[in-house]
Amino acid sequence: MVPSLTSQKAVGQLCSTASMAGNLAQCRMLVQKAVKAGAKALFLPEAADYIGSSPAETISLVRSVQDSEFVLGLQKEAQEANLHINVGIHEPAPNGKVKNTLIWIDDKGVITQRYQKIHLFDVDIKGGPVLKESSSVEKGMEILPPFDSPIGRVGLSICFDLRFPEIALALKRQNAQIITYPSAFTVPTGWHIGKLCFEPEPLRRSPM
């Protein structure tokens, strides 16, 4: 199939919990909706496989892609639905932490691309949450080159990578047509980042 930006794309939203089975069930419904809408690819959020209530739980729940009921389930869905799926998951890291990764599953159910989040989300908001992603997550070190897909040339980034334009610039220079930023923000942090997304002038001028 010739890549085309005019091909239908679907974006799925869900509120992940600590239950992989429950999250997979939600994603299966989103796959059905995407197929019904005629989409060639479905984009799902960061950490769609699970959200732990603590760093310890985040680490305890992680599974390799070969053993993850969530990933195996989505691979099957992709193959049966003839649908490409982009989804954020956790993977084990050799240092005892986890990797925050974004994988691309093709329409044959094969994982063909993998990006590990580079910019981890450590924040202390006055009157809001204190989050330290680096306490349980291993930092990625490489930008994944853009790749061709049925919907165009795709570049992968995750969540807080949005605040650092160097990745997007590097992807654009390699002819990326679509750049992803799947996210799993809290309400306060999502609001702050959302304002940046919709107000390009502050984003352009703000220190990075």
Q: Which residues are catalytic?
A: 46, 117, 159
Structure tokens at 108: 């044959």
The helix or strand, by DSSP H or E, that contains position 99, with its residue range, turns out to be strand 98-105
Rounded alpha-carbon distances, angstroms, from residue 175 to 145, 172, 179: 10, 5, 10
d(CA 50, CA 145): 27
Structure tokens at 101: 């990764």
Helices (H) and strands (E) in the chain, counts: 6, 11
Q: Is 103 helix (H, G, I), strand (E, B) or coil?
A: strand
Structure tokens at 180: 């992803």
Beta 178-180 vs 130-132: how paired, if at all?
unpaired
**Under 8 Å between Cβ of 115 and 101:** yes
Q: Is 144 helix (H, G, I), strand (E, B) or coil?
A: coil
**Chain centroid, CA 204 distance in Å:** 24
d(CA 69, CA 71): 6
